[in-house]
Amino acid sequence: MNIAIIGGGPAGLMAAETAVACGAQVELYDAMASVGRKFLLAGKGGLNLTHSEPLELFLSRYGARRTQLAPLIDSFTPDALRAWAQELGVETFVGTSGRVFSSDLKAAPLLRAWLRRLRKAGVQFHVRHRWCGWDEQGALRFTTPHGIRSVQADAVVLALGGGSWPKLGSDAAWVPILAGRRVPIAPLQPVNCGFDVKWTDHFRTKFAGHPVKTVGVVAKSVACEVIRRQGEFVVTDTGVEGGVIYAVSACLRDVIAAKGVATIRLDLAPNREMRRLVQDLSQPRGKRTMATHLERRVGIAGVKAGLLREVVPKEEFMDPVRLAAAMKSLPLRLVATRPLEEAISTAGGVSFNALDRQLMTRSLPGLFFAGEMLDWEAPTGGYLLTACLATGRAAGAGAVAWLRETAR
């Protein structure tokens, strides 16, 4: 059994690990000079492996694709993922948010240990091999530094990622190749992404790059469902991005696609009730400036004060009730989604309807898919990596099972 895995991210590596453990001969190909580049970047700020919340809640994070992903994640749960990391010598811990991190907060040690184990198990790696489809004989075609190379394989697992971070290999070049083979593909869209806001030049110049700490965010879906989150985000030169914005990004993306614009409402003082704000703002200001008054009375300063002045008319600052109302529900108008290549992840991809339960496409027997190539999306927080690993495991096992079945 010779299985070709194309793509050296977490999904491809897990497919390789699973297949080789089942006795297959595995060859893994990647277009970059080394594997796991996006994985290493994702772990740069602390390797978030998965999440510790109850499995039922965990599965709900996959939204419309829960039905398809649930059986795959049931076979490789967050607890199983933590045990797998421990087998590689990487301990994990649960952070205050419930997210699960590697103990050293680094991706490189885990990746090195993983690659050592894969090589020891017999997986052969071929880097600088860019897949470009099939030749007339049905062999896989790769462009390499030494020219075109054709490779025959008994089964193939494609784990080429979505369309985000093209410099790290996820460039969606596979879309036209598979579309030419009539594989159903939902359009790729950004997930966990930033948005454009029409800042004034003054605000942009003064506050671009500043983090906005602990705010509440209220957004409405296309169906007018109210979504509430709390967290932080960053003001950028073009708009907003980061934590709590990513948490509602799928909803905002869809609203912008449907209506051309989306509005979120920010609670700049989530730990203070409206009545308390009004009381504090009603205190005599004396000779103090409004900026000093806001900072002393309600703790609003810096970028939060800047946001208020960016959105709220000057005359409303003289009315404690209207100003407090603005602090608790500051409207921010988002005019566009940032480009796909800037997103952390992508939605869209190969339709689950075209695949069997082992993630093999029905129209092209022997061709399996894993990871972000599939049509699903999830927020950050460990959900992306968990599903990539679970689908990689399912595709690797599926390829072996199919080969054994066809050999009978």
pLDDT per residue as tens digits for the range 99-113:
999 999 999 999 999
SS (H, E, C) the chain: CEEEEECCCHHHHHHHHHHHHCCCEEEEECCCCCCCHHHHHHCCCCCEEEECCCHHHHHHCCHHHHHHHHHHHHCCCHHHHHHHHHHCCCCEEECCCCEEEECCCCCHHHHHHHHHHHHHHCCEEECCCEEEEECCCCCEEEEECCEEEEECCCEEEECCCCCCCHHHCCCCCHHHHHHCCCCCEEEEEEECCCEECCCCHHHHHHHCCCEEEEEEEEEECCCCCEEEEEEEEEECCCEEECHHHHHCHHHHHHHHHHHCCEEEEEECCCCCCHHHHHHHHCCCCCCCCHHHHHHHHHCCCHHHHHHHHHHCCHHHHHCHHHHHHHHHCEEEEECEECCHHHCCEEEEEECHHHECCCCEECCCCCEEECHHHECCCCCCCCHHHHHHHHHHHHHHHHHHHHHHHHCC
pLDDT at 45 > cutoff 80: no
Quote the pLDDT of residue 44: 76
pLDDT average, residue stretch 126-148: 96
Structural domain boundaries in the chain: 2-190+347-406, 195-337
Mean pLDDT of the chain: 95
Quote the pLDDT of residue 46: 84
Question: Tens of pLDDT along 7-24?
Answer: 999 999 999 999 999 999
Question: Tens of pLDDT along 177-234?
Answer: 999 999 999 999 999 999 999 999 999 999 999 999 999 999 999 988 999 999 999 9
Quote the pLDDT of residue 166: 87
Question: Tens of pLDDT along 55-98?
Answer: 999 999 999 999 999 999 999 999 999 999 999 999 999 999 89
Look up the pTM and report it. 0.91
pLDDT average, residue stretch 239-254: 95
Q: What fold, for 2-190+347-406?
A: FAD/NAD(P)-binding domain (3.50.50)
